[in-house]
Copies of this chain bind each other. A is one copy, B any other.
Amino acid sequence: MGSDRRTQVLDSALEVFARYGYRKASMDDVAKAADISRPGLYFYFSSKPELFRATVRHSLDGSIAAARSVLADSRQPLRERLIGAFDHWAGRYVGAMAAEIGVLIDSNPELLGAMPAEYPKLFRALVIEAIGGRSAGDVAGTLISTAIGIKHDAETRDEFRERMTVAVDLYCGR
């Protein structure tokens, strides 16, 4: 399962990195948060940059997986699936302490390289597939941009969800 020791370390690392930023977060901080020794941390990740990359990848994989499973749930109408997918994808990084995660990601480009850029493409493809039809690309692109815009001035995750609902109804509902 995903609940092995390595996963637990990655979850702890995400909290620590999000709280202190990459530079000020020490391997010792992460080790303490994960309840292992600092040398023990190196059994899982051979360096701090590698730990950081794995942490970000783990987080993004989680968001993508959540979005995918929501979008694939054919019991729900398209409207609900889209709202849920955007909530998992972008809403995860809105408000409170979670806001720092997004900053963390696009604030360390030299460490992450082209890796984070793959995920928006993946998400976009999922949304296009879910919408279907000729103008699916246009609708998906517009909705994604709207989500980014809303993310910038929404205070809470609930507000993000509400406004995203309005956008979905406006752009691809009635």
Interface residues of A (CB under 8 A from B): 138-139, 141-142, 144-150, 152-153, 163, 166-167, 170-172
Structural contact, A166 and B141, CB atoms closer than 8 A: yes
| Residue from B138, B146, B172 within 8 A of A145 (CB atoms) | B146
| Residue from B144, B153, B163, B167 within 8 A of A171 (CB atoms) | B167
Q: How far is the CA of A163 from the CA of B149 in the complex (A)?
A: 14
- Copies of this chain in its oligomeric complex: 2
Closest 5 CB pairs of A and B: A145-B149, A149-B149, A148-B149, A146-B146, A145-B150
Least Cβ distance of A122 to chain B in Å?
A: 16
| Residue from B142, B149, B170 within 8 A of A138 (CB atoms) | B170
